[in-house]
């Protein structure tokens, strides 16, 4: 199974994978139900979950009904326990919307929920993240998870996300991070897909962020926070929800201007 999933992730066009994967995995889910793991997004429990990974496959990584991975389940728990996202009216921009979140967030009547992507079949608006078609100070919340590493000019993308965020608003800005590196690793001369996968963890990544990521966000203008939210969870919760112990949450706030 893990070889099939790994092959599909590397070879099947993403837009096609997005359409067919939910149909296949929901059927498989019927044979995986149990009480060892739980997906907090759906509340469904499993005796095992699906493996996931392009190169190094991780066991019990993907919940078959929502297609959530470890990082998605952690983000959901953070939104649920540490924010008013599920209670307060807000205008939300979700870049490159993940299937697991899009389905759930669309059902929340208190949100004006807008999804955007360059070519995703799930997006409400098709646009370039480096040139967003929204006015300044439009959104209360921006969600942008594992997108910036795919953008050649990530600084411009960050500036655009900051621009459309309202003063007092906040953004969740997750990226893959190698915590062994003090600084972000980027080399524009590495263009071969196999070399990119080796250096940046995926063949369509332009860089691999390091421990300086929060500082990079601050330089754009965000009041950034690196939050070790998982440290607040019990060992039982980490295991049951199928989380990665090293994963952190990155929040960027746009401070309200103070009139002199």
User: Which of 249, 208, 206, 237 is closest to 71 using CA atoms?
Assistant: 249
Q: How far is CA 203 from CA 10, 19, 197, 200, in A?
A: 9, 22, 4, 7
Task: Please list the pLDDT of the chain residue by residue as tens digits (260 residues).
Answer: 545 444 444 445 555 556 667 678 778 888 899 999 999 999 999 999 999 987 778 999 999 999 999 999 999 999 999 999 999 999 999 999 999 999 999 999 999 999 999 988 889 999 999 999 999 999 999 999 999 999 999 999 999 999 999 999 999 999 999 999 999 999 889 889 888 888 876 888 999 999 999 999 999 999 999 999 999 999 999 999 999 999 999 999 999 764 44
Domain locations in the chain as residue ranges: 2-68, 84-253
In the prediction, which pLDDT does 8 show?
Answer: 44
Give the whole-angstrom CA distance, residue 218 versus residue 70.
26
Class of domain 84-253: alpha beta
At residue 22, φ and ψ (nearest 5 deg) are: -60, -35
Sign of the Cα pseudo-torsion (90, 112, 122, 192, in order): negative
Q: Would you say how long the chain is, in residues?
A: 260
* Entry pTM: 0.89
Residues near 96 by beta carbon (within 8 Å), at least 6 away in sequence:
116, 117, 120, 123, 144, 145, 146, 147
């Amino acid at each position: 199974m893990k070889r099939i999933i790994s092959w599909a992730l590397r070879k099947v066009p993403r837009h096609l994978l997005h359409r067919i994967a939910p149909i296949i995995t929901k059927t498989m889910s019927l044979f995986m139900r149990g009480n060892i793991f739980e997906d907090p997004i759906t509340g469904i429990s499993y005796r095992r979950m699906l493996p996931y990974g392009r190169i190094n496959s991780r066991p019990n990584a993907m919940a078959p009904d929502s297609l959530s991975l470890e990082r998605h389940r952690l983000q959901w728990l953070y939104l649920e326990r540490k924010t008013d996202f599920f209670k307060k009216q807000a205008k939300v921009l979700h870049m490159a919307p993940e299937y697991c979140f899009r389905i759930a967030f669309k059902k929340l009547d208190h949100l004006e929920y807008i999804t955007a992507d360059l070519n995703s079949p799930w997006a409400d608006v098709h646009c370039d993240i480096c040139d967003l078609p929204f006015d300044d100070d439009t959104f209360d919340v921006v969600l942008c998870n594992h997108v910036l590493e795919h953008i050649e000019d990530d600084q411009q993308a960050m500036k655009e996300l900051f621009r459309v965020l309202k003063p007092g608003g906040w953004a969740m800005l997750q990226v893959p991070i190698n915590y062994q590196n003090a600084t972000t690793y980027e080399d524009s001369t590495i263009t071969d897909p196999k070399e990119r996968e080796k250096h940046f963890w995926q063949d369509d990544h332009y860089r691999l962020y390091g421990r300086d990521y929060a500082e990079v966000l601050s330089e754009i203008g965000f009041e950034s926070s690196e939050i070790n939210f998982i440290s607040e969870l019990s060992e039982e919760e980490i295991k049951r929800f199928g989380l990665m112990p090293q994963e952190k949450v990155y929040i960027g706030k746009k401070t309200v201007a103070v009139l002199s």
